Chain A
């Protein structure tokens, strides 16, 4: 309904070229571990750098998407929608429970109940450290789920 002729053309190109050249594939294969480590780093050091769960989660999705671009749709079929759905809800509930710990420990929602390490250190964030991880999980799985559904619709549309 909303497709322009040009996007239909692009789809056909996707079909004809399920994966990119060996140059791209090799580069991406080398780059993937670096991207994943970078994403995890952004999540982990979210409270010390201008990063955080959301940004790190998006970088992780970007890593997986670059893999998809190089290797075609089949490579990300390994992610199942149900699993991603589950991971997303676990992330959301993790945030809620971390906040609830604050109510029991200090009286207010999201109260910093964990005593952190020295200022500037990895553990100095208290519960922000935990929150970054659950947010990263939710964002990465949620965004990947959306992209997966969109790509699947695109495959079916051909």
Chain B
């Protein structure tokens, strides 16, 4: 047990304590609330980093609350089980949380309700970190409730806008159903094994129908958090209605927790040999998410909704990495999760600065802002390039790792899906940039806009610099971070052994060899060039005046529009429909598990 491990719970306790202390001393520290949050998040980050050394050598650190270590092979106590996969997600949460709190210090100027905001944000971050570090299935459920309730309240932070209340209501209903699925799944797993500790459940898991349905319900519930199709309906509304720093937290950290939990269920919970069909189903889910998210991006009018649907597409991308399940794909998924957390929160904050400075929420209201807000323009453009996976950006790394893994698994068609995702993302973002930053000022608000305050621009710039650093140190990031995250997910027996017995089988502590392509190697740029050409072309088609009727391009675009209209009609906006799709998706996920029992 390394000496730093005794501090592990501090990573959760410090933000939690801050949330509780803030209302008590709030009136004395009125202007220092963000500073207090930043300090506590920094402490939490330092604690996490101090655990980094053993974790990134393949160990699983286990902290038993109140010293209730397992006895006679029964784990009754509550544990924090920190391995590279959970550690990475917790670190992502802290990074995005820091950026979000700093940004909020500028964003919330001139608004009321600061105390409520910071308390809820700290509870949200605490819940996310707690979920990522907890090694107990039921405690994960409790943390899920903690961050979900904080997230519902934050979505409705502007109760004077009717759409905030509506979005929070949809979010509440869909995610309560998801939490219900998780609770039922936990009950079934408890019936199956008589345990709630993840490692204990994984060790004793018997693939009976009840146990498999339990896993299916768990995966379905967590897929709602991850906003995969068809569980994604809450996401665009919630992201568009929440205050921008909260949207950044949702997209950067909250939906990553769903990914974390799905991967945990697939790899740690289900014994090997029983999860192949489920993983294939997840590849299908990922492809559907990319398609739906990408097409929906192209006809959104609200600025933040475009980014929200892009998140759906990118989550599909990540779940394909999980579905492939080879070391390279998992490393790619882990690094792409880090990349997406940095870049998407930066993009949310950048476009949020535009929304705040111009008071324009739709594309039709702004325009010509490149000259008035040059720094924001540069940052958003850089983020777009990274999101589309251009070489030397962080997006290139995860994209090429997942593509390579797909080729190795004999699924060459997936590289087409990856290129398609890039094309849709680039086209949607270029459309946003063109309508927001170029052309004429369409409203007086846009005409009189000026650059956002420095405190809002700093976190965006920091996140973009982080993304660039990842892109340039591709080899090191894969070797030191991605490979170990993949190792943590794949070595199920090592995880169980370290939690239940506390021993480390030395042969299990070697990372898989993964070689990412060098970003400077032009022979691998093919897919990026394809994405660039396709994305620019599609953006052009979506922005130019319509072709004259009867010509071939007109017919093609007309047919494509019909498909996209069908997709748009699928998003009815009626919460009962969304709840139905939640249940249908979860029921469909149980099928592959039952077949391969």
- Report which A residues bind B (CB closer than 8 A): 85-86, 89-90, 92-93, 96, 99-100, 102-103, 106-112
* Residue B6 interfacial (CB < 8 Å): yes
Contacts A93-B24, A96-B17, A107-B67 known; list 6 others, CB within 8 Å.
A96-B20, A103-B6, A106-B67, A108-B6, A109-B66, A111-B66
**A92 nearest CB neighbor, chain B only:** B20
Judge whether B573 is part of the interface by a CB distance below 8 angstroms: no
**Which A-chain residue is minimally distant from B13 (CB atoms)?**
A96
Question: Which chain B residue shows the least CB distance to A99?
Answer: B13
The contact of A109 among B9, B20, B21, B24, by CB within 8 Å, is B9
Interface: B263 (CB within 8 A): no
Inter-subunit contact B65/A109 (CB<8 Å)? yes
Chain A residues whose CB sits within 8 angstroms of the CB of B6 once the complex forms: 103, 107-108
5 A-B residue pairs with Cβ-Cβ distance under 8 Å, sorted by A, are A96-B13, A100-B13, A103-B6, A106-B67, A108-B65
Contacts A85-B23, A89-B24; A108 near B64 (Cβ below 8 A): yes
**Residues of chain B lying within 8 A (CB to CB) of residue A107:** 6, 67
Instruction: Say whether B392 faces chain A, with CB atoms less than 8 Å apart.
Output: no
Partner of B66, one of A92, A93, A96, A108: A108
Q: A-B pairs with CB below 8 Å: how many?
A: 40
CB neighbours of A100 from chain B (8 A)? 13
Question: Known interface pairs A99-B13, A108-B6, A109-B13. Does A93 touch B67 (Cβ–Cβ under 8 Å)?
Answer: no
Q: What is the interface of chain A mostly: helix, strand, loop, or mixed?
A: helix
Q: Of A85, A93, A102, A111, which one neighbours B17 at CB under 8 angstroms? A: A93
B67 with A108: CB separation less than 8 A: yes
Chain B residue numbers with a CB within 8 Å of A92 are: 20
Q: How far is the CB of A146 from chain B (nearest CB, A)?
A: 12
Residues of A within 8 A of B23 (CB): 85, 89
Residues on B with beta carbons closer than 8 Å to the beta carbon of A112: 66
- Assembly CA distance A103 to B13 (angstroms): 12
Q: Do the beta carbons of B66 and A89 come within 8 Å of each other?
A: no
Residue pair A108, B63 in contact (C-beta under 8 Å): yes
Q: How far is the CB of B22 from chain A (nearest CB, A)?
A: 9
Could you say which residues of chain B place their CB within 8 Å of the CB of A109? Answer: 9, 13, 63, 65-66
Q: How far is the CA of A96 from the CA of B66 in the complex (A)?
A: 13
Which A residues touch B17, using CB under 8 A? 93, 96
Most A CB atoms within 10 A — which of B9, B17, B66?
Answer: B66
Please, how many angstroms separate the alpha-carbon atoms of A85 and B26 in the complex? 12
Shortest Cβ gap from A96 to chain B (Å): 5
Contact A110 B21 (CB under 8 A): no
| Minimum C-beta distance from B15 to chain A (A) | 11
Report the separation of the CA atoms of residues A85 and B116 in the bound assembly, to the nearest whole angstrom: 13
- In Å, the complex CA distance between A112 and B66 comes to 7
Residue of B nearest to A112 (CB): B66
Residues in chain B near residue A99, CB distance under 8 A: 13
Give per-residue flags for B23-41: 1 if the beta carbon is below 8 A from chain A beta carbons, else 0: 1100000000000000000
Contact partners of B66 in chain A: CB under 8 A: 102, 108-112
B288 within 8 A of A: no
| B16 CB within 8 Å of chain A | yes
Contact between chains at A93 and B20 (CB < 8 Å): yes
Q: Which residues of A contact B16 (CB under 8 A)?
A: 96
Q: How far is the CA of A96 from the CA of B20 in the complex (A)?
A: 10
Residues of A within 8 A of B64 (CB): 108
CA distance A93 to B65 in the complex (A): 18
**Could you tell me the distance in whole angstroms from the C-beta of B322 to the nearest C-beta in chain A?**
32
Inter-chain CA distance A98–B65, complex, in Å, is 13
Q: Which residue of B lies closest to A103 (CB)?
A: B6
Bound complex: CA of A158 vs CA of B197, how far in Å? 50
Please pick, from A86, A96, A106, A111, the residue contacting B24 in the complex, using a CB distance under 8 A: A86
Whether A111 pairs with B67 at a CB distance below 8 angstroms is: yes
In the complex, which residues 73-125 of chain B have their Cβ closer than 8 Å to any Cβ of chain A?
Answer: none
* Neighbouring B residues of A103 by C-beta, 8 Å: 6, 9
| Cβ–Cβ < 8 Å partners of A108 in chain B | 6, 63-67
Which of A90, A110, A111, A112: most chain B CB closer than 10 A? A110
- Distance (Å) between the CB of B4 and the closest chain A CB? 13
Q: Tell me which residues across on chain B come within 8 A of A110, comparing CB atoms.
A: 65-66
Contacts of B20 in A (CB 8 A): 89, 92-93, 96
Report the Cα distance A103→B67, complex, angstroms.
Answer: 10
User: Of all chain A residues, which has the CB nearest B12?
Assistant: A109
The complex places the Cα of A102 from the Cα of B20 at a distance, in Å, of 20
Expressed in whole angstroms, the minimum distance between the Cβ of A115 and any Cβ of chain B is 15
Closest to B63 in A: A108
Bound-state CA distance A93–B24 (Å) is: 10
